[in-house]
């Protein structure tokens, strides 16, 4: 480097770009403009004009140093050699791409270079490539205009130095600016992020659209009537879109501002990096008319205008946003330049810039307002970016049509998206012909009463035998007043006795409350006291004792094991007694399951027969259960997964297999799966993770649910069988959604709605959110529980 002429500080944005250049593996902050020129061109004279630019603007010769310094500086040598190359023939786009791909060394000036591509004797493309730390989008057109003027031999006035701006910046009251920004951002609840944290920067993708002249004029008139700028309109609508993407009604994004203070003489002709990125906060209220939002946002931004000079790291420590907007009203008119060049005509003008944000919206004013969205292709596909831009365009159209529309009524889904999300994806069919919980079982018993229905150790019951035992107990229950809207508590472990009792209560018309006797005594006492069942059936009753009636107590010792079906009897029962069962309405309760109480006191969820019918049929078909199947009764009776297991077997005429007491995972569970020839099972991920690998050739279908299942478990268990992820709260009759068969390496989705169910993802204002946007899950359909 030649002798140093000047040493300058860095502007706030220059400091940020310098940091990225030092620490990012790929420096994406390379900008470029291209000019297509037709007519006679003197390449030597054009190069001379380019060299004079470096003389007129000392900051274009700057290098950026930081070693052994407390803060980085830009060092301006007296002169540097202009990087200039000429290429004859070849693909001009390839030359431009090659120029952009060459990384600048910030310590080796100048941080710009020219390439002139000769396409024919009278056709050329000029490529100017620079690091963004040197020039902003406003300065580059100024530089191009000046270059062409110098080429034509025009007298150029002295250029106002960039140093004047840096001196002005140093005189500003940064403390007052920090206070203003603190007030503006007070109460912001965390950063507004639309994408996960990215890795190394990548070149952006770009999509664009434009408004027709009529809509553009209408938008301009609307802004003028409201006393706001078009930029404010775009910021308000971008805020609404970001709100829909994040599910927040208080959002922050970045705005790229010109950074050129009007009070600084000659600032409009200065060349350098002036722009700054500042936060824009948009607080949304569903009842506020959109026009009033525009006016409020304009006033809020006007108050902060004097403080746009403060760097983003001083405005707020830490990440605030990951999207930015900019209005590109640059001082360059290609048609005017065409006129000024005489015999030489400017036939094409292109530009390319880059940034590290996942989404960056640019608006270019004109007869047709151009909207351009740059996106990180590793975070947003081109299709997703097109969809986002289309939503913004829809918001603009809605604003022009009715500026008084309340913000809460503005949708970002077009008609086709809304129809797909709300209607098509929830077109799950009508509920099947209604069957009660015992009715599902009885249908299979009628088809083949000799088929095996229940296996509990050495006890094996056919469908006919199990039906007879349940009928006999149902008659006893009816004698004690059990019928519709009456609750019977079953204080029983998983056993044949529990299954008989559950079916019997249903046949009598009542609802059962399963209570795991292994629960702490305090929890059992709470459940029985809160539910106030009409009757309590425990193992003592199954052994021949009288049932516990409401308001009485059984001695604490009830035993811990059941001799499957003991005390029920093996008689067939009279056919007339079987037909004497109470007529059950599908809206009557079938069972009551208590929640875990993780969000407060446990609550009893009252589930009706209406949801059971649709679920049983859907589950049978989705899981491929047939009469030859053997279904594991794995779940504790106090979880609704136990109901799912019974329905899985009984709806298909398959066998329900009850494992020995205490088998809840590990090698013992693997042994049960193999020894009992289990074909279908529902196993929570935590228990599944404890099971050692085994061939289990007959284990055809595995359902996971109750907790998140990781891809590692899918890798282990999906090959060779159907693996399904089921989701649903107790309040939605066991499961509201099921996935299709999972593939190894897949992160299990919760799947799609079961038959007759509907699933919606809504925002805080109860509007459907776009695909890929977080929201709250809402369930609807006949499977919803009656209440608590």
For 434, residues 6+ apart whose C-beta sits below 8 A from its C-beta are 586, 609, 610, 613
Dihedral sign (CA 35, 38, 39, 41): positive
The class (CATH top level) of 4-164 is alpha beta
Cis status, amide bond into 746, omega within 30 of 0: no
Residue-wise pLDDT tens digits, 148-202:
999 999 888 899 999 999 999 999 999 999 999 999 999 999 999 998 876 677 7
Residue-wise pLDDT tens digits, 575-586:
434 444 447 889
Beta bridge partners of 237: none
Distance CA 349, CA 126 (A): 10
Residue-wise pLDDT tens digits, 111-151:
999 999 999 999 999 999 999 999 998 899 999 999 999 99
Is the pLDDT at 342 greater than 80, yes or no?
no
- The dihedrals phi and psi of 246, each to the nearest 5 degrees, come to -110, -10
Is the pLDDT at 544 greater than 70, yes or no?
no
The band of 545, judged by pLDDT with boundaries at 50, 70 and 90, is low
The DSSP call for residue 581 is P
Which CATH superfamily does the domain covering 437-546+584-780 fall into? ANL, N-terminal domain (3.40.50.12780)
- The dihedrals phi and psi of 602, each to the nearest 5 degrees, come to -60, 145
> Mean per-residue pLDDT for 250-274?
95
Least confident among 113-127, 703-717, 769-783: 769-783
Listed in sequence order, the DSSP H helices in 560-664 are 575-578, 609-623, 641-650
Q: Check if the beta carbon of residue 514 is closer than 8 Å to that of residue 637.
A: yes
Cis status, amide bond into 369, omega within 30 of 0: no
Give ranges for CATH 3.30.559.10 in the chain. Answer: 4-164
For 599, residues 6+ apart whose C-beta sits below 8 A from its C-beta are none
Give ranges for CATH 3.30.559.30 in the chain. Answer: 173-337+354-411
Distance CA 13, CA 18 (A): 8
The band of 552, judged by pLDDT with boundaries at 50, 70 and 90, is very low
Q: What is the pLDDT of residue 440?
A: 94
Q: What is the pLDDT of residue 611?
A: 85
Residue-wise pLDDT tens digits, 5-38:
999 999 999 998 998 888 776 677 899 999 999 9
Among 37, 706, 47, CA closest to 345: 37
Give ranges for CATH 3.40.50.12780 in the chain. Answer: 437-546+584-780
Percentage of the residues of the chain whose pLDDT score is greater than 90:
74
Residue-wise pLDDT tens digits, 359-399:
999 999 999 999 999 999 989 999 999 989 999 998 999 99
Looking at domain 173-337+354-411, its CATH architecture is: 2-Layer Sandwich (3.30)
- Supply the pTM of this predicted model: 0.75
Q: Check if the beta carbon of residue 582 is closer than 8 Å to that of residue 485.
A: no
Q: What share of the chain is helix, strand, coil (3-state, %, to 5)?
A: 35, 20, 45
Distance CA 647, CA 503 (A): 11
Is the pLDDT at 207 greater than 70, yes or no?
yes
Per the prediction, the chain carries an average pLDDT of 90
Angle formed at CA 498 by CA 494 and CA 499, multiple of 5 degrees: 105
Q: What is the pLDDT of residue 340?
A: 57
Q: Check if the beta carbon of residue 785 is closer than 8 Å to that of residue 593.
A: no
């Amino acid at each position: 480097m030649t002798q140093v002429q000047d040493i300058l500080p860095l502007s706030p944005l220059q400091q940020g770009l310098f940091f990225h250049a030092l620490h990012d593996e790929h420096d994406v902050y390379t900008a470029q403009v291209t000019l297509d020129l037709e007519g006679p061109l003197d390449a030597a004279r054009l190069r001379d004009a380019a060299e004079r630019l470096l003389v007129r603007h000392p900051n274009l010769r700057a290098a950026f140093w930081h070693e052994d310094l407390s803060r980085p500086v830009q060092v301006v040598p007296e002169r540097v050699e202009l990087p200039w190359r000429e290429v004859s023939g070849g693909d001009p786009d390839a030359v431009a791409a090659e120029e952009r791909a060459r990384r600048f060394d910030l310590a080796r000036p100048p941080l710009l270079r020219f390439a002139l591509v000769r396409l024919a004797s009278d056709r050329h493309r000029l490529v100017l490539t620079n690091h963004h730390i040197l020039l902003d989008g406003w300065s580059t057109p100024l530089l191009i205009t000046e270059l062409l003027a110098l080429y034509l031999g025009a007298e150029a006035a002295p250029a106002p130095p960039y140093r004047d701006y840096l001196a002005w910046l140093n005189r500003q009251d940064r403390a007052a600016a920090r206070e203003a920004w603190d007030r503006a951002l007070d109460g912001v609840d965390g950063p507004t992020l639309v994408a996960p944290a990215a890795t190394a920067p990548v070149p952006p993708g770009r999509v664009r659209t434009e408004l027709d002249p009529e809509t553009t004029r209408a938008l301009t008139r609307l802004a003028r009537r409201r006393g706001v700028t078009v930029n404010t309109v775009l910021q308000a609508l971008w805020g609404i879109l970001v709100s829909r993407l994040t599910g927040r009604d208080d959002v922050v994004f970045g705005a790229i501002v010109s950074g050129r203070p009007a009070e600084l003489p000659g600032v409009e002709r200065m060349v350098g990096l002036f722009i700054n990125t500042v936060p824009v906060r948009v607080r949304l209220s569903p009842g506020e008319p959109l026009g009033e939002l525009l006016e409020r946002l304009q006033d809020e931004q006007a108050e902060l205008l004097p403080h746009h000079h403060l760097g983003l790291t001083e405005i707020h420590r830490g990440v605030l946003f990951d999207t930015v907007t900019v209005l590109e009203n640059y001082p360059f008119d290609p048609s005017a330049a065409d006129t000024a060049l005489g015999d030489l005509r400017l036939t094409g003008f292109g530009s390319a810039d880059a940034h590290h944000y996942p989404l960056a919206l640019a608006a270019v004013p004109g007869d047709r307002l151009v909207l351009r969205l740059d996106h990180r292709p590793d975070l947003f596909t081109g299709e997703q970016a097109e969809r986002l831009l289309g939503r913004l365009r829809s918001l603009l159209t809605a604003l022009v049509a009715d500026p008084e529309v309340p913000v809460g009524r503005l949708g970002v889904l077009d008609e086709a998206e809304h129809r797909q999300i709300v209607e098509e994806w929830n077109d799950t069919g009508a509920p099947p012909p209604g069957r009660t919980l015992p009715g599902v079982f009885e249908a299979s018993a009628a088809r083949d009463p000799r088929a095996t229905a229940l296996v509990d150790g050495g006890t094996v019951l056919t469908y006919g035998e199990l039906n007879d035992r349940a009928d006999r107990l149902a008659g006893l229950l009816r004698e004690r007043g059990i019928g519709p809207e009456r609750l019977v508590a079953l204080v029983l472990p998983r056993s044949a006795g529990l299954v008989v009792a559950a079916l019997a209560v249903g046949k009598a018309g009542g609802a059962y409350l399963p209570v795991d006797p292994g629960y702490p005594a305090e929890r059992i006492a709470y459940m029985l006291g809160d539910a106030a069942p009409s009757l309590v059936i425990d193992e003592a009753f199954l052994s021949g004792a009288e049932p516990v009636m409401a308001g009485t107590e059984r001695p604490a010792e009830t035993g811990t094991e059941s001799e499957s079906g003991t005390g029920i009897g093996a008689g067939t029962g009279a056919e007339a007694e079987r037909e004497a069962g109470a007529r059950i309405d599908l809206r009557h309760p079938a069972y009551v399951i208590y929640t875990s109480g993780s969000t407060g006191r446990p609550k009893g969820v009252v589930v009706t027969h209406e949801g059971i019918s649709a679920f049983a049929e859907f589950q049978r078909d989705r899981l491929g259960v047939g009469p030859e199947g053997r279904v594991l009764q794995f779940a504790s009776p106090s979880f609704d997964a136990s109901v799912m297991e019974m329905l899985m077997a009984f709806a298909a005429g398959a066998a329900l297999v009850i494992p020995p007491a205490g088998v809840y995972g590990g090698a013992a569970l693997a042994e049960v799966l193999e020894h009992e020839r289990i074909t279908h099972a529902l196993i929570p991920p935590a228990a599944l993770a404890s099971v050692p690998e085994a061939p289990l050739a007959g284990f055809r279908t595995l359902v996971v649910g109750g907790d998140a299942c990781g891809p590692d478990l899918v890798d282990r268990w999906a090959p060779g069988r159907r693996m399904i992820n089921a989701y649903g709260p107790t309040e939605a009759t066991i499961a509201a959604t099921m996935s299709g068969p999972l593939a190894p390496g897949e992160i299990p989705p919760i799947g799609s709605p079961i038959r007759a169910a509907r699933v919606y993802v809504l925002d805080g204002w109860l509007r459907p959110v776009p695909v890929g946007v977080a929201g709250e899950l809402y369930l609807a359909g006949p499977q919803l529980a009656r209440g608590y």
